[in-house]
Amino acid sequence: MSTTAIPVSGLTKRLSTLGKAREFAILIALVLVIVAGTAKNPTFLFSPDGWRDLLLTPSILLLVAVGQAIVLITRNVDLSVGSVLGLSAYMTGRLFIDIPGLPIVLVVLLVVVFGALLGLINGALVAFAKVPAMVITLGTLYAYRGINVLWTGSDRVNASDLPKDFLALGTGQILTIPILSIVALVVLIVAAWYMRNTRGGREYYAIGSDPAAANLYGLKVTRRVLTAFILSGALAGLAGAFYAARYGTVNSQAGSGWELDAVGAAVIGGVAITGGVGTVWGAAIGAMLLMTINRVLPILGIPDFWQRAVVGVLILGAIVLDRVLAVRQKRRLIEARDQS
């Protein structure tokens, strides 16, 4: 049985190589930020709490950023992930409160499925209504947040409402490595393997590189767009469950603003906003860099305004760099074609 080859343009290959270089550069930046924080305050790294927080703090954002990266690679965006995280976190608490004795694993699975369903709604509206993802997910961002506010009201979930074994997920460690960080790493490895080694993963890149060509080659564009949003929603749901375990207290504003951090982490990590380029590894490194910067800058005595400004500059710089590199590589390919 013959299979259709997945088209990969020369431009995509070149930009993929540049993306890997970007990931290495961001990794170096992360190391420098950690060194700066440790030099100013050695307990930032060389203490049990410092080491734990260094690994634990980015774990939840890492999950959301991985899902966001997959959507961005298909040349879409999911702005609803923060609201999905908040709804999922509150649902986690309500399940434990309303159905005492429910197994922790079952609660987490139910919340992940719930997040996937919310992602399916996003994907269906984008794939079938043919409305830009930014418009659709901006709408569902407010819709899901409104549902969360209506459901939560003035109530909130407190740590005392949650099982101690569940809360232990947010603080527990295995060989000094936080449990949440281990789970996040496993998810990252699975997602990276899928995107790199499977036909479905390669099709995401092909669709993001040139949706029209992907359709002509017979790729199942609608199915891939749907699954990208489902994965993003499922990972945001998992992040919501871990949010409840990590912080204990969940109110109607849980996850507010996380969608921008997720997009920022992916873009800073080398995932092109125009699709087709980048890896989930880069998004994960970007998430670690963002969260580490937020911890280091106060240690260095930098005011809160400049903390947000630094993150904004990083995002703008990443977008401008992507555009400059894309234009330069396209020009070189045209020149090479003309000379041949």
The predicted-structure confidence for 57-84, as pLDDT tens digits, reads as follows 999 999 999 999 999 999 999 999 999 9
Q: Amino acid identity of 228?
A: A
pLDDT at 262: 93
pLDDT band at 208 (very low <50, low <70, confident <90, very high): confident
Buried/exposed code over 71-98 (b: 16+ C-beta within 10 A; e: otherwise): bbbbbbbbbbbbbbbbbbbbbbbbbbee
pLDDT band at 326 (very low <50, low <70, confident <90, very high): low
pLDDT at residue 100 above 60? yes
The tens digit of pLDDT for each residue in 109-159 reads 999 999 999 999 999 999 888 889 999 999 999 999 999 999 988 888 898
pLDDT at residue 327 above 60? yes
Buried/exposed code over 191-223 (b: 16+ C-beta within 10 A; e: otherwise): bbeebeeeeebbbbbbbbbbbeebeebebebee
pLDDT at residue 274 above 90? no
CA atoms 265, 181, 15, 127: torsion sign: negative
Contact in structure between 286 and 65 (CB atoms under 8 Å): yes
Per-domain residue ranges for the chain? Answer: 10-335
Q: Which CATH number fits domain 10-335: 3.30.230, 1.10.3210, 1.10.150, 1.10.3470?
A: 1.10.3470
Q: For all residues of the chain together, what is the average pLDDT?
A: 86
pLDDT at 15: 47
